[in-house]
A and B are shown apart, each in its own frame.
Chain A
Amino acid sequence: MLPGFTMAEKILAKKAGRERVEPGEIVEAEVDLAMVHDLTGPLTVEVFEKIGAERVWDPNKIVVVFDHQVPADSTRSAELQKKMRRFVADQGIKHFFDVGRGGICHQVLPESGLVRPGMLVVGADSHTCTYGALGAFSTGIGATDMAYVFATGKLWFKVPPTTRVEVVGELPRGVYAKDVILAVAGEIGSDGANYMAIEFCGEVVKRFSVDERLTLCNMAVELGAKTGLVEPDEKTASYLGANPSSMGEVVRSDEDAEYADQRVLDASGLEPMVACPHSVDNVKPVSEVVGTSIDQAFIGSCTNGRIPDLREAARILRERTVSDGVRLVVIPASQRVYEQAVREGLVEVFVKAGAVVCPPTCGPCLGGHMGVLASGERCISSSNRNFVGRMGSRESEVFLASPATVAASAVAGEIADPRDFLGD
């Protein structure tokens, strides 16, 4: 008897109009949704024009989000955004999130219900793998591939083998989805899942909210993966404001599906984790780096700028202040998250603590603006990459951690264990 299939294989087979597909096979598939942002959109449009395309294949299936250099930080960015606005208007693109209308693409697409289970989504941004948290096959591509998608609605894909990561046990206090994915990165390595899909499952993942699952899948690319995936369930439905039966095309892996690798992580013994410079898999328990001095702390990004992240940070920052000599930058991931944070009084907590709260943007995560680093400076960040020069000077250093660990460190003025600040 033939073995069963993984979620990734099933979605790609369906979109390629095939009965079955095998890992390693190259198929052409129909795309359900295609996203570009203000830094990848202009190059996509240039290529779109160069290949002689005139109209996009479907203006209802393209999403344009301005999130990287917003509000425009230079005339250069302003010109690029002007060019994209014109393209959006000319092509009649339906889903356009301008400055003040959306936020970081990887929060905006899920929260606005554009991504549904079973979809095939491509985005001109590597963290497009985030949407797998909703049971979609979703992956990052470059501008030329995207121009081809804009013109045809299709793209070739190599069917990935799947690695299954089962997270069991119970998360200890002060340990979050970010710590789980950092622990997985430390174990699998920064290319350990190259060209694969990673399926996250197990009791801990089942208990995770969709926001936490988004954090997990967001960092799948940091292990080299093409996408991260979580089986949709009633939490997915409720997040999408839909019934489990109508939220989309729910795809589950067969019990006898074949996996390239299967790993089990017991979360019960986990400590808060920190990825040290300059690689995401250089992961250590926080206890090994406690006391490392910092100049800046950053809470935000498509990994950890969501409402549960801000709540945890505020729990630590309430009635405390950011240490002298440290800047704390807080950036809610979207307008909706920002509004919610205002309503819950979280923004007040941050401002009173001495943090600067910026409008929704990728900001300093990729060294764009709003808190880039000088030479010799060190930052602890809730974002996803700590490569050389990622957040500014090539002589700066980035440590990656959960928002709670970042908040605790901002108060302590050095890398700190959030469990010392959370109470019981």
Chain B
Amino acid sequence: MRVEGKAVKFGDNIDTDVIIPGKYLVYTEPEVLAQHAMEGVDPDFSKRAREGVVIVAGKNFGCGSSREQAPIALKHAGVRCVVAKSFARIFLRNAINVGLPVVEADILNEVDEGDVIAVDLSSGAVADLSKGFFKPIKPFPDFLLEILRDGGLVEHLKKRGFGK
């Protein structure tokens, strides 16, 4: 499973309130949430992300609330993957469940905004194609990788005939 996109950089502790402010939690529609993705730090983010981007961030990405609207907003805004030094645990689970690839790698200081980042989840590597470096990443347990491959937990369960 491989994804690629231009890097959009953020710092440490990007919390779920800036990813999708609380006032939008009355919405569950992905396309509405997407318009407000990252509004708390970058009101123009959803326009920039449209062509497909990879977020590169520091530590504790997604800290705060359990709102699943956060990874939904990012995914539907055009974020193909989030590469961060570390993730808050609820966000990590939610991202996998909604089919937004997330990988732990500390590359923030080596990457420039706009660099082309490629992530191969299956072999476990992240690469900056503009700079020509790559780093191995800690691979996911197989069952989580399968959920991501299927595009999220809903599709994963459907594929396995859940509820039938």
CB distance from A383 to the nearest CB of B (A): 12
Does A43 belong to the interface (CB within 8 Å)? yes
Given A68-B25, A385-B17, residue A144 in contact with residue B94 (CB < 8 A): yes
B13–A144 contact, CB under 8 A?
A: no
A276-305 vs B, CB cutoff 8 Å, 1 = contact: the mask equals 000100000000000000000000000000
In chain A, what residue has the closest Cβ to B95? A142
Given A142-B66, A144-B97, A387-B18, residue A76 in contact with residue B26 (CB < 8 A): yes
* Majority DSSP secondary structure for residues of A touching B: loop
B154–A47 contact, CB under 8 A?
A: yes
A389–B17 contact, CB under 8 A?
A: yes
B101-121 vs A, CB cutoff 8 Å, 1 = contact: the mask equals 000000000000000000000
Number of interface residues of B (CB under 8 A): 41
CB distance from A318 to the nearest CB of B (A): 33
Residues B86-101 near A (CB distance < 8 A): 86, 88-90, 93-94, 97-98
| A40 CB contact (under 8 Å) in B17, B41, B60, B66 | B66
B90–A142 contact, CB under 8 A?
A: yes
Q: Which residues of A contact B39 (CB under 8 A)?
A: 394
B68–A144 contact, CB under 8 A?
A: yes
Q: Which residues of A contact B13 (CB under 8 A)?
A: 190-191, 279
B163–A46 contact, CB under 8 A?
A: no
In chain B, what residue has the closest Cβ to A73? B26
Does B22 belong to the interface (CB within 8 Å)? yes
B17–A390 contact, CB under 8 A?
A: yes
Q: How far apart sit A128 and B89, CA to CA, in the bound complex (Å)?
A: 14
Q: Which residues of A contact B59 (CB under 8 A)?
A: 191
B66–A80 contact, CB under 8 A?
A: no
B40–A143 contact, CB under 8 A?
A: no
Q: Which residues of B contact A389 (CB under 8 A)?
A: 17-18, 21, 40
Does B141 belong to the interface (CB within 8 Å)? yes
Does A86 belong to the interface (CB within 8 Å)? no
Q: How far apart sit A357 and B22, CA to CA, in the bound complex (Å)?
A: 22
A74-116 vs B, CB cutoff 8 Å, 1 = contact: the mask equals 1011001000000000000000000000000000000000000
Q: How far apart sit A42 and B25, CA to CA, in the bound complex (Å)?
A: 10
Residues B30-44 near A (CB distance < 8 A): 39-41
B5-38 vs A, CB cutoff 8 Å, 1 = contact: the mask equals 0000000010101100111011110000000000
A53–B163 contact, CB under 8 A?
A: yes
B163–A151 contact, CB under 8 A?
A: yes
Does A334 belong to the interface (CB within 8 Å)? no
Residues B137-164 near A (CB distance < 8 A): 141, 143, 152-154, 157-158, 162-164
Given A43-B68, A142-B97, A368-B23, residue A191 in contact with residue B86 (CB < 8 A): yes
B66–A367 contact, CB under 8 A?
A: no
Does B65 belong to the interface (CB within 8 Å)? yes
Q: Which residues of B contact A57 (CB under 8 A)?
A: none
In chain A, what residue has the closest Cβ to B17? A387
Residues A202-240 near B (CB distance < 8 A): 224, 226
Does A26 belong to the interface (CB within 8 Å)? yes
Q: Which residues of A contact B27 (CB under 8 A)?
A: 76
Q: Which residues of A contact B162 (CB under 8 A)?
A: 51-53, 151
Does A201 belong to the interface (CB within 8 Å)? no
Does B2 belong to the interface (CB within 8 Å)? no
Does B69 belong to the interface (CB within 8 Å)? yes
CB distance from B146 to the nearest CB of A (A): 13
| A194 CB contact (under 8 Å) in B25, B68, B86, B141 | B86
Q: Which residues of B contact A47 (CB under 8 A)?
A: 153-154
25 example contacts (A-B, Cβ-Cβ < 8 A) are as follows: A26-B141, A39-B25, A43-B28, A51-B154, A51-B162, A53-B163, A54-B163, A68-B25, A69-B26, A74-B26, A125-B66, A142-B66, A142-B93, A143-B94, A144-B94, A145-B97, A194-B86, A194-B88, A194-B89, A366-B65, A367-B17, A367-B21, A388-B40, A389-B17, A390-B17
Q: Could you tell me which A residues sit within 8 Å of B by CB distance?
A: 26, 39-40, 42-43, 46-47, 50-54, 68-69, 74, 76-77, 80, 123-126, 128, 140-145, 148, 151, 156, 158, 190-191, 194-195, 224, 226, 279, 366-368, 372, 385, 387-390, 394
Other A-B pairs, 7, CB within 8 Å; known A80-B26, A142-B93, A367-B23: A40-B67, A43-B69, A69-B26, A194-B86, A224-B88, A372-B23, A394-B40
